[in-house]
Structure 1
Amino acid sequence: MHILMYMSMIVLLISSVVMFLTNLLSKKNIEDREKSSPFECGFDPISSSRLPFSLRFFLIAIIFLIFDVEIALILPMTIIPFNSNITIWSLTSILFLFILTIGLYHEWNQSITWMS
């Protein structure tokens, strides 16, 4: 028990010393207007580099990520019934697919209201 406590204290001490030294020895970053401006082949920028971002594109990207994660959760469902109780697997799969169907219905209704 004492060995574990001593080892954790040593690890904590070493990591604290390393973090302190990196903070102390790190090069301080001084903001320079020329260095923080966008670079376009040596010319001054024609327009602002901070263009407005389309919220619709962002929402489509988020929906894609959500469905991508869902597919990653659905694919192992084909292997699991061989290693577990079939009734628990069936109930869990049906519940998961039901929640996905409700989410798809909600997204479908929201996209119809966006169009109008």
Structure 2
Amino acid sequence: MPDYFHGYSVVGLVAAVGVLFVAVAFGAGRLLRPVVPTREKMLTYECGVDPVGEGWAHTQVRYYVYAFLYVIFAVDSVFLFPWATVFAAPGFGGTTLVEMFIFLGFLAVGLLYAWKKGVLEWT
């Protein structure tokens, strides 16, 4: 039983050291930085352009859809690496090959759905 909790104590110790490190870094930054607020420093800053007009702007939804599709395919591509290592192991070849084609089929259906909806057209 002591060996069981030893693994958790190491993880807890590493987490505590990490939290302490971040707290010390933020505290040191707060103590060492100069605090001289001016009107210019309080302005919203974006890409070197001075803000003009009100702060609210409409953003087109299609950019979020592109980002969402990218995240889906980027995360799904991560699953290809473990699949390749399991596929190389003896005795798992046929099963993992079928599973990967099912997985890629789901991705293809999602891509086909996005294409049919016109999401992939840049306008």
Normalised by the shorter chain, which TM-score bucket?
0.5 to 0.7
| Structure of higher RCO (CA pairs closer than 8 Å, 6+ residues apart) | 2
Runs of at least 5 residues in structure 2 that lack an aligned partner in the other structure = 14-38
Runs of at least 5 residues in structure 1 that lack an aligned partner in the other structure = 12-32
Relative distance call for 1:65 and 1:95 in structure 2 (3 A) is same
Q: How far, CA to CA, are the matches of 1:81 and 1:65 in structure 2?
A: 25
- Mean alpha-carbon deviation: is it higher for 83-92 or for 65-74? 83-92
Identity percentage of aligned residues: 19
TM-score normalized with structure 1 length: 0.54
Structure with the higher helix share, 1 or 2: 1
TM-score normalized with structure 2 length: 0.51
Work out which of the residue numbers 100, 103, 106 in structure 1 matches 2:107.
100
Give the 3-state SS of the residue equivalent to 1:47 in structure 2.
Answer: coil
Work out which of the residue numbers 112, 118, 121 in structure 2 matches 1:111.
118
Residue identity matched to 2:101: I
Please report how far the alpha carbon of residue 46 of structure 1 lies from its aligned counterpart in structure 2 after TM superposition.
4.8
Relative distance call for 1:75 and 1:49 in structure 2 (3 A) is farther
Work out which of the residue numbers 82, 90, 99 in structure 2 matches 1:76.
82
Is residue 2:90 matched to residue 1:88? no
Aligned length: 109
Q: Which structure 2 residues correspond to residues 1-116 of structure 1 after superposition, within 5 A?
A: 36-39=42-45, 45-48=50-53, 50=55, 51-83=57-89, 85-111=92-118
